[in-house]
Structure 1
């Protein structure tokens, strides 16, 4: 899923194909027209369905920025034209830079990259000229509990928040950023050293991003793992999972568990509970937009005891 193929020219045939298969729109003065006096329905209410168009397109809107995508170029063009009749919008063509995410067409898909956003983070941190490292966290994973408080906690929090948004296209940073964000209230000099290590790793992987390709499979499957008692302060474990639709990663998470697990089996089982809830929600979401998989979702876990516990929860209560 992670790739360094960021440079290169865009194929002409692919660029032309994307012109009306998806478009980026910007609504003028969206904040000045945000107050609505009428009721807005997310779906057609019973008794008011338009029989000529029973299934309207879905929109994902972030304030005044809109992405329109579809497999039929005529329908996409018609929808953009109808929106232009109702609102003052600007058609910006195929999206190349959207909400800090760069969309780079490839021969077999697209690459979602935040290269420019990373460069801005490095400038804010004053680490443009630092030497890169090969891993996001130190192998030793040691934290000095007696370290002095960091002199500028606001600066630390700003960079930690910026790295959080970077995980939108960089799942490889999820664990490291999760550890940094746990220290936002009172960061120490040791935490700042960990922050610089992550930023040096980011500097060396500027070309990485999330690659989305056409997949022959439509199966939903997820992988889960846990770091049992990984926190030296409260002995809580960290859960992590990645969910794939075919060959494309569509959801991932890395967060500390709410309670203390008394064994690695219990920690792994809690992670499976989290990923099962996520997969259940994704199945519901995909069904709403008219997509259904031919097979049941698969959950993968590397802990045999947790697998047995899932198979027979009553016996192991």
Structure 2
């Protein structure tokens, strides 16, 4: 496995460059794919508890079959970001209301190579983030409206699951859930 010394790494304030572009695996210089896969698997585990890195890790996981040096560099950037954010976290506030609010979005034109789109949602219970997901869809949408509709459908399915869970815990919601697109 490639070595990466965290104690000498310079911290960064974002897990990914603002341009959000990662080249396809067309470069002649590829890195050890097993080391890259191992690092991405560890970062995916962190993505479960950190929505700030989940998108960047998702993007990198799309290149696990043939990672290049630029993909390895982007993965190391996430590690440098984690070093910067080590003392930060999500805090659940005890006095928060029990209103469920959700936001969904889609990126229809984000992938010019595959034509597939990315959908994402985030759910808040009061002011606390309780669920999030960002994923590349398996199918191709014919319009941005269709992509947004699918994002809303994914978020609505998760909202129903959370509502049922709260009902089973004998803590049903008092108000209807608001879903923003």
TM-score, normalised by the number of residues in structure 1? 0.53
Deviations 1:75-116 (A, max 9, x none): xxxxxxxxxxxxxxxxxxxxxxxxxxxxxxxxxxxxxxxxxx
Please give the alpha-carbon distance, in whole angstroms, between the structure 2 residues aligned to 1:223 and 1:178. Answer: 19
Deviations 1:92-147 (A, max 9, x none): xxxxxxxxxxxxxxxxxxxxxxxxxxxxxxx9643331111222111222333322
Counterpart in the other structure of 1:299: 179
Q: Is this contact kept in 2: 1:148–1:189, CA < 8 A?
A: no
Partner SS for 2:172: coil
Q: Is this contact kept in 2: 1:229–1:261, CA < 8 A?
A: no
Kindly indicate whether structure 1 or structure 2 has the higher relative contact order, using CA contacts under 8 Å at least 6 residues apart: 2
Q: Is this contact kept in 1: 2:122–2:131, CA < 8 A?
A: yes
Counterpart in the other structure of 1:75: none
Matched, 1:137 2:137: no
Deviation at 1:283, TM superposition (A): 0.8
Unpaired segments ≥5 residues, structure 1: 1-122, 302-317
Matched, 1:158 2:56: no
Counterpart in the other structure of 1:228: 108
Please give the alpha-carbon distance, in whole angstroms, between the structure 1 residues aligned to 2:180 and 2:138. Answer: 22
**Alignment size in residue pairs:** 179
Q: Is this contact kept in 2: 1:130–1:200, CA < 8 A?
A: yes
The structure with the greater share of residues assigned to helix is 2
Counterpart in the other structure of 1:283: 163
Partner SS for 1:241: strand
Partner SS for 1:225: strand
Please give the alpha-carbon distance, in whole angstroms, between the structure 1 residues aligned to 2:69 and 2:113. Answer: 17
Residues 292 and 133 (structure 1), Cα distance of their counterparts in 2 relative to 1, 3 Å cut: same
65, 68, 72: which one aligns with 1:188: 68
Unpaired segments ≥5 residues, structure 2: none
Partner SS for 1:168: helix
109, 117, 120: which one aligns with 1:237: 117
**How large is the Cα RMSD of the aligned pairs?**
1.8
TM-score, normalised by the number of residues in structure 2? 0.90
